[in-house]
Chains A and B, each alone.
Chain A
Amino acid sequence: QQQVKQSPQSLIVQKGGISIINCAYENTAFDYFPWYQQFPGKGPALLIAIRPDVSEKKEGRFTISFNKSAKQFSLHIMDSQPGDSATYFCAASSTSGSARQLTFGSGTQLTVLP
């Protein structure tokens, strides 16, 4: 099963709050888990990524938590700002032959209120 399930579909957070987006996967061959941020009319931009050999990765206000046994990973945005308002996609990939393809979640529309 190649699906990546993402929740919630939409999220409203006050400025300064913590935004949490969750993803779950089935395919145990996945070994790379990036998060992308997409603004309207733009292509997805890579935010942060993790491999399953670590349980957490932090870059600035963005943290990925990874639970290999549960096959779940999440994005935490600390001190959320109105400029963070965008759609966030989790993704997963594995090497099939020599190629990598990204399997995306369905997206979370984040709104940060001023």
Chain B
Amino acid sequence: DAGVTQSPTHLIKTRGQQVTLRCSPKSGHDTVSWYQQALGQGPQFIFQYYEEEERQRGNFPDRFSGHQYPNYSSELNVNALLLGDSALYLCASSLNGGGADTQYFGPGTRLTVL
């Protein structure tokens, strides 16, 4: 049973560029959440996708956008990169409804903005 997968593993960009991160959820899961984890801190919720719609959003600017495909995979896009966007970006998948609250995390994408 494949877990949550993310690509790429590492990414280096310069300020002002745009980046796209990808996530494939755990088999059977239909909901994808994205989190940003700065060095030495806990993950911060960015947004959640379900049925190809953004269902909830954390306190992040609209430079952060996403997409979910019919196969439940998801992308996180960040425009106009800032140095402060350097972080580990985590994708978590879960199964919507029925009180299924458990979120399973992928290994993350380490983004470095120079």
Contact = CB atoms under 8 A, between A and B. Distances in A.
Interface of A: 6, 32, 34, 36, 41-46, 49, 89, 91, 93, 96-107
Given A43-B106, A106-B42, 20 more contacts: A6-B42, A34-B103, A41-B107, A42-B108, A44-B43, A44-B105, A45-B105, A46-B104, A49-B102, A96-B56, A97-B55, A97-B56, A98-B96, A99-B50, A100-B48, A100-B94, A102-B33, A104-B44, A107-B40, A107-B42
Contacts of A89: 42-43
- Interface range, B side: 20 to 34
30 contacts: A32-B101, A34-B102, A41-B107, A42-B107, A42-B108, A43-B90, A43-B106, A43-B107, A43-B108, A44-B43, A44-B105, A46-B103, A89-B43, A93-B101, A96-B56, A97-B56, A98-B55, A98-B96, A99-B56, A100-B103, A101-B45, A101-B56, A101-B58, A102-B33, A102-B43, A102-B45, A104-B42, A104-B44, A105-B42, A107-B40
Given A98-B55, A101-B33, A43 B4 contact: yes
Lowest 3 CB-CB distances: which A-B pairs, in order?
Answer: A104-B42, A43-B105, A99-B56
Interface string B37-56: 00011111100101000011
Interface in B71-108: 90, 92, 94, 96, 101-108
B103 A102 contact: yes
A42 to B, nearest CB: 6
Contacts of B45: 101-103
A106 to B, nearest CB: 5
Given A96-B56, A107-B41, A101 B90 contact: no
